[in-house]
Every structure is written in C-alpha cells, then in structure tokens.
Structure 1
C-alpha cells in the first residue's frame, strides 16, 4: 500500500481544527507515511499561512516566466478545480525554501503553526496575490489553506488509540 493511499483523508472545517490535529499528533505521537515529520509539515504550513499576509518569496529566476504564464492562463482554473475537488494534488512541487530540514523541534513547529493560523485569521483586508493563482478571495485563500493542512497532516498517523 502506498503512502498516498494509506494516509488519513482529513477534512478540516476551520484552521483551529488543523492546529488541534497537529497538537494531538504532538501529544500522542505519530507514524510518518510520507517524507516529512511533524516539524517539517507544521513549519511548511506555517510558511504558507504567512505568505498571503506578508508576501510570497520570489520564485527562482528561471521559474518566474513559468509562474507568470500559469498565473495568467491556467492558474485560476487550477485553483477552482482544486477547491471543487476538495483535495490538494499529491507530489505537487513547492518552494524549496518552504521545506524545513527534517528532525526539527516538533513542539516549536506546532506552536509556530498555531501563531501563523492566528495571524492569518486576524489579517484585515485582502491577502497578497498567489504567484500561481493570482488574486484570490479571502474565502478561497482560507479554503486552500484548509486543504493544504489536511494534505500534509494526513501523512502523519496518530499512534494513540482513538485519535
């Protein structure tokens, strides 16, 4: 059975629910089905929750024309398709800078995720445009964040019974 087929299929209704899931994984222990541990998943999610508020890091120079084309052609359609499907695609590329090194401090990463969620939710006004999708509404941005959290946390399976 592949990690993709064995992972938890999570559906978060709000970002605080995602934080509670990460806290439960921290408290009860977890098994990795994918490549990332809890500190990597939470650090990555915290970065992507921060980008719409503070701004996205620049794409590598060679990728900038590709990102421009995506943003102005198929990007918005990809966003709508992902939101309609209710799931992030597996093995999608990401910014290397948003992938923490393995073996980090799980508790610190969960706390960072908690703070990033609070800041994302408290942000007033529009979020910064996505380098791939362009301008997105507050609702679309929040829904993408929920799918992103469910995707990555789904590869971590609780060790404690009943979770």
Structure 2
C-alpha cells in the first residue's frame, strides 16, 4: 500500500480564494505531496503575480533565444491550452530565482502573497508580456494566476485530510 500523497485538484474563482487557502494551510498544518513547503509556494506565487505588473526578470543569456522562439511560436498556443484546460503541467521548470529556500517564515510568505494579490486586483496599468506565453490581456493573466495558484497550493494537503 502506497503512502505517497497525491496533489489536490484545486480550482479557484478568485485570487482571494487562493489567499484564504494559503491562510488555512498555515493555520491548520499540512503535508507535502511535492517538494515545496508553504513559504516556498507563497513566495513563488507572489513573485509571478507581480511580474506582469513590474516586468519579468531577464532570463540567463543562454535562455534568451529559446524564450524568444517559444514566445513567438508555440507560447501563445500553450497559454490558450493552459487556460482552456484550467491546469498547468506538473514538473515544468521554473526560474530558480523564484523559488525561495525551504523552511521560510510561512506567516510572512502568506502575507506577501496577500499583498501581491491585492495589488494585482487593483492594478489598472499595462501588463507585461510573459517570457513564454507572450502578451496576455487582463482576463487571461487572471486565469493564468488562478491556475498557477491552484497548481502549487494543490501540492499542500491539509493535515486533517492527510
């Protein structure tokens, strides 16, 4: 009999729902079905929520040509697929700079996520294009953010459920 935990299939209607989920995980405890803890997941999500507003970090020089090709060929199709399916593929690589070290301050990370969500929801300025997906409108960015939050928080299983 396997004791490995499986990722939850979460769906959020609002980013506030994602913040409430993170707060519940912090308050009630959780077990990990993946590699990251709550502070890492919340820090990563906060970064990616702010990037469309503030701009994305410059990829390493060796990755720039690949990002350009993806963004201008299959990236827009991949974005439409993620949005249509409502999920992100497991195991996709991310920028290591957006993964905080383990065992961080969970309360601070959840609060950072809350601030990023509040800012994104009230932001009325232009949104920056994704390095991979290319330009997205506000609704598309919101959908991607909701899916991204559900993806990462789904790897954290509430203690009562584990």
TM-score by length of 2: 0.95
Cross-structure match for 1:154: 154
CA distance change for structure 1 residues 2 and 60 in 2, over 3 Å: closer, same or farther?
A: farther
Between Structure 1 and Structure 2, the one with more helix by share is 1
Cα deviation 1:12-59 (Å, max 9, x = unaligned): 000000000000000000001100000000000000001011110000
**Structure 2: stretches of 5+ with no match in the other structure:** none
- Number of residues of Structure 1 aligned to a counterpart in Structure 2: 161
Give, in whole Å, the separation in 2 of the partners of 1:15 and 1:96. Answer: 24
Q: Which runs of 4+ in 1 moved over 6 A?
A: none
Cross-structure match for 1:47: 47
Please say which of residues 22-31 and 5-14 is displaced more in the overlay.
5-14
Q: Does structure 1 retain, via aligned residues, the 8 Å contact 2:53–2:125?
A: no
Establish whether residue 35 from structure 1 lines up as the match of residue 20 from structure 2: no
Cα deviation 1:87-133 (Å, max 9, x = unaligned): 01100111110000001000000000000000111110331111111
5 Å matches for 1:1-163?
6-160=6-160
Give, in whole Å, the separation in 2 of the partners of 1:138 and 1:2. Answer: 41
Give, in whole Å, the separation in 2 of the partners of 1:119 and 1:131. Answer: 21
**Structure 1: stretches of 5+ with no match in the other structure:** none
TM-score by length of 1: 0.95
Give, in whole Å, the separation in 2 of the partners of 1:52 and 1:66. Answer: 20
Secondary structure at the aligned position of 1:91 is classed as coil
Shift, 1:2, TM fit = 8.9
Secondary structure at the aligned position of 1:157 is classed as strand
How big is the alpha-carbon RMSD for the aligned residues of Structure 1 and Structure 2? 1.6
